[in-house]
Structures are given as C-alpha cells and as structure tokens.
Amino acid sequence: MTYLFNNPIAFAEELVEGFATAHRRHIQLIHGGVMRRHKAKQGQVVVVTGGGSGHYPAFGGFVGGGLAHGAAMGKVFASPSAQQICQVAEAVDAGGGILFSYGNYAGDVLNFTQAQEHLRATGINVRSVIVTDDIASAATAERHRRRGIAGMLAVLKAAAVASDAGKSLDDVCRIAAEANDRVRTLGVAFSGCTLPGANRPLFEVTAGTMEVGMGIHGESGLYRMEAPSADELAQILTEKLLCEIPAGVEHPERARVGLILNSLGTVKQEELFVVYRKIDRLLSARGLTIVEPVVGELITSFDMAGVSLTLFWLNDELEETWLATADTPAFHRTQALCDEIQVPEVNADRNKVDAIEAFTTGSAESQRAAQLVFTMLQAAQVVIDEQREELGRLDAVAGDGDHGIGMQRGIAAAIKAAKAAQDAQAGVESLLTAAGAAWADQAGGTSGALWGVMLRSLGSAIGNQAAPSASSIAAGIASALHHVVDLGKAQPGDKTLVDVLHPFSAAYAAAISRGSSISAAWTIAASVAEEAGEATQHLLPKIGRARPHAEKSIGTRDPGAVSLVLIIRAVEQVLTAHCS
C-alpha cells in the first residue's frame, strides 16, 4: 500500500523534486528529469537513461559519477515523453555524442526513438542500446523482445565508465551492447503493488504462493508455485539463470560474474542476505567467482513483495567497468573523484509545457471551429474521468493498470494547452497541435505518444484557415491512422486502438462519399468503432506489454481501443448538439 501522497496525478513530479533536493551533491533538477551535478568534459560521450517513476532507485538514482549523465523521469509506470527525453539529452550533451540506454518497454522504445530522431535532425549524434535481461519475458531466440530490469545497472555502468574514460561513441555503444549480451535476470513476486491513490493492488498473488517471472509493472509471470524457503528460492533462481549462459562465455565452469540480488519493494535487506548466503554457496560450488556482489534495492515496484537475481558474465574489459568507482544517490563504489568540476547553470523550469510557443492566428471560421473542438475536448475529459478506474482495470488484466490515469493526465494537459491556444485566437490546427503536444508530454507512455500524434495529424489536415469540412476531417482521421501505425508498429488484429481507428476511418470516409454530413457520417462511423472496440475482447495482443501473456487478455477489451471509443462517442454528442 502507498500511504504518503497528495494528489496522485502530481505524485511523480513531487517525488522527483524531493529526490533532487535530497541529493543536491550528486544531481541537479532539470525539466524532464535530473542530470549529474558535475558536467561532462567537452567532447565527451554522455549516457542518458530513463523510464517511468515508481521504480526507485531506477532511474534517477543511477545518475552521478561513474554512471548515467542524465535520466528522463516519466509519470508513475509510464515512459517519459519524447520532449522530456530531448530536454534531458540537450542539457547533458557535451558534443561527443549521446548514448540512450533504457529498458525494453513499448512506451520507452517509442518515446526514446522519437527523441533520437529529433536530436539527430538537429545534428546531435545519438545511438541506443536497449536493455533486454529478463529471461522470463521471451525465449532465447527472441532476446530482442525481452524486458529490461535490474541488469540495467550493469549496462549503464559499462557505458558510463567507457564514456568517462574518453572513448568514442562507437566504443561506448559496443561495450554497452556487450554488457547487455552478457547479463541475465529472473524475478519472482509474492504480492502485487498498489499505485498512489488506488484502493487495491494492480494484481494479487494467492497467499502462500509465488509467481515466477513477474515483471516490474505487474506483468504476469511464467507460472505460480508454493512459496519456497529462502534456500529453495536461491536454488530456483540460480539454476534457471545457469541454464542460459551467454554465447560469449568461453569457460563457464570457472567464470567470473557480477551479481545483483534486488528487492522489488517490501522484501527487506535482512531477507536478501539470507537468500544471498545460499546463492554464494551454490555458485561457488559450480566453480564461479562472484565479483563485488550488489545486494539491495536497485529497481523496485512500490510495495511489491519480490526479488530478482542478476548474473553479469564478465570478461576483462567488463570486469573493469563493473569494479570502477561510482558515486550516485543510489549506487556507490567507494568515492568517485571528478576532475575539473564544472557546475552547469541550468534552469529547472526551462521549457515547461506552460510556456507554449506562439500560436498561428486562425481565420474567423477556424477560430469558431476551434471553440467547438475545445468543447469536444471538454466532453472527452468528462467521460475519461468517469471511466478512469474501469480503464485501469482493463489495463491491469495483462498490463500495468495505468491506462486510466494516463488518459486522465493526457486529456487534462490537452485542455489546458487548448485553452491557451483558444485565448490566443488560434485556429483548429494550432489548437490541436498544442493539445497533442501537451497530451504526449504529460501522459507519457505509449498512449500519450499515440494521442499526441493523432491530434497533431488531425489538426494538420484541417489547417488554420478554412472551416473543417467532411473531406478534411476524413483526411485527418486517415492521416492519424497512418502515423499511429508508423509510430507504434501495430496492425489491425494486434489488439490495440488501431483495431478501432482503422474501421472508424474507413466507415467515416465511406459515409461522406455517399453525401452524409459531418455529424451523420461521424454517427455512422462511431457505431462501427464501438462494435470494433467490443470485438477486441476476442483478440490476442501481439504488441506491447500484454503480448508475453496474451491468453490472459482473452475476454477483456483492449483499454486503448475502449478509451478511443469513449472519446469518439463524446465527440459525437457535441456534433449532434451543435452541427446540422
């Protein structure tokens, strides 16, 4: 249970502020996350990580000497937005290139990829190494699909040590990729976690049992079993990890390994030591040498009761990075010394979303239409607020349960930005562009990025001058569908919002081709969308967090599809009331 919070929506911002204030010696607060207090040398490669809040010490706790140069910190269990990531990257950039390294989750991949493309377009050399150490989340042949969990520490440390040694971006990427190739993790859980403000856990594990392979967002594990003793758990974790020795390890019978025994939240240090004592004996009996083990909290999930074990199969180069000094808020290897310390002058409030860029003034017709669009956003907010808990429940079946609160954050930010655009006499395009950017930035995660793309695509097709027409709206919906598919890579049948957006777009276009008005065409297409949304309960998810445990979602509608239908219906009500 999470006991201490104010407004759950503001939880992430408040925890980041408090975290940065408590660790002024190590880090500095910037918009989007935190950065090292000691600036990188000019021309040096810098390492940027990031992810959702709720996993401390990841990700901000790994910023400091000997580890990451900056971390983008998203909302609770939601990836940081592309804008946040760009702002952190630009703040720490020293001119030698940037390495992004983060966990393999759909929202993180989507937003870090967008940020990478944007930064490259501005002339900054950016590369990525995605962490994929969780052996429970995909088979060996599909390692690229695996989640990134506690092994992220080993990858970040390898990259940062290479960076601080002055190596090139190519070398930093090579070393980070090799570290990822040689790290394996398996986790177990005895109970679920509860998000701030929620009155029940995201999921439950039957008392007296343990789920093997559970993810840090509450993703279901491989199987459940009777809860073991500490020694039995040590044996389970050790044996399963030793069944998958990385290909590059030449003599596993006498290998040297880094080790992380991690608490996911409520399992305390004393319990970890009981488990570790047995792990040490088991690995030593197999001829392995454990090098500087780490036992503690490295990546958590609020109050989840669980642990994970990570083995990092070392070679000479990686052992050097594993042993190197580090000094961050959450991880220490003696005292890291920084030469030629430079304290950067960075305004933590720089580029806040509130400081929206100048709007293009719309024509009188477009301004009137923008007022109606604003009314539609308000109607959407009402229905999302009403259905937040149900959307979270649907998402928790095979995901992390944050879809409802993510949609609520997104629509609230969109309305705030749209109001500013309306006050500035903006046209439809400017209003929707501002609303989309705010939605993507404040909601975070996959849905935040996709809704940002949809609103911007629709606005671009309509423009700021002519009044919206049936054909321009159809073009905007089709453009939104194209960009959502291009960005998220989902196709019809993958159990995502595309399964609603695709038939909705086709039905609307068909209706206007028959001469229907905007309002009539929307009503026809809305009925098609609602049927498509209901039909998602029969689909197996093929993309995103729900994919590894697809069968569990059979019989449950896709939350992204449901929220899209809710908003389509809310817009229909406004159109019916205001348009002939």
189/239 same-domain check: yes
Q: Is residue 356 part of a domain?
A: no
DSSP label at residue 292: E
What DSSP line would sit under 91-156, residue for residue? HH--SS-EEEEEE--HHHHHHHHHHHHHHHHTT--EEEEEE--BTTSS-GGGGGG----TTHHHHH
254/156 same-domain check: yes
Task: List the single range of 128-132, 251-255, 385-389, 561-565 with lowest mean pLDDT.
Answer: 251-255
In this prediction, residue 339 has a pLDDT band, given cuts at 50, 70 and 90, of very low
Of the three residues 296, 325, 354, the one that is the final residue of a domain is: 325
Contact 157, 321 (CB under 8 A): yes
Q: Is residue 564 part of a domain?
A: yes
Burial-class residue 414 by CB neighbours within 10 Å (0-12, 13-18, 19+): buried
pLDDT digits (tens, 9 = 90+) for 35-66: 999 889 999 999 999 999 989 999 999 999 99
Contacts of 388 (CB under 8 A, 6+ apart): 404, 405, 407, 408
Which residues constitute the domain of residue 196?
Answer: 8-325
**For residue 347, is pLDDT > 90?**
no
Q: What is the CATH number of the domain that holds 394?
A: 1.25.40.340
pLDDT digits (tens, 9 = 90+) for 65-101: 999 999 999 998 999 999 999 999 999 999 999 999 9
106/157 same-domain check: yes
Q: What is the CATH number of the domain that holds 292?
A: 3.40.50.10440
Q: How many domains does the chain have?
A: 2
254/174 same-domain check: yes
Of the three residues 306, 325, 344, the one that is the final residue of a domain is: 325
458/532 same-domain check: yes
Per cent of the chain over pLDDT 90 is: 79
538 assigned to active site: no
In this prediction, residue 540 has a pLDDT band, given cuts at 50, 70 and 90, of confident
In the set 26, 69, 217, 549, the catalytic residue is 217
Q: Is residue 402 part of a domain?
A: yes
pLDDT digits (tens, 9 = 90+) for 458-506: 999 999 999 999 999 999 999 999 999 999 999 999 999 999 999 999 9
Task: List the single range of 93-102, 164-173, 332-341 with lowest mean pLDDT.
Answer: 332-341
317/391 same-domain check: no
307/429 same-domain check: no
417/563 same-domain check: yes
122/259 same-domain check: yes
In this prediction, residue 351 has a pLDDT band, given cuts at 50, 70 and 90, of very low
391/446 same-domain check: yes
Q: Is residue 2 part of a domain?
A: no
402/311 same-domain check: no
Q: Tokens 């140069």, residue?
A: 69
102 bridge partner residues = 130
Q: Is residue 333 part of a domain?
A: no
Of the three residues 325, 351, 375, the one that is the final residue of a domain is: 325
pLDDT digits (tens, 9 = 90+) for 175-200: 999 999 999 999 999 988 888 888 78
Task: List the single range of 371-380, 393-402, 430-439, 560-569 with lowest mean pLDDT.
Answer: 393-402
259/371 same-domain check: no
Considering only the C-alpha atoms of the chain, give the largest distance between any 2 of them, rounded to a whole number of Å. Answer: 80
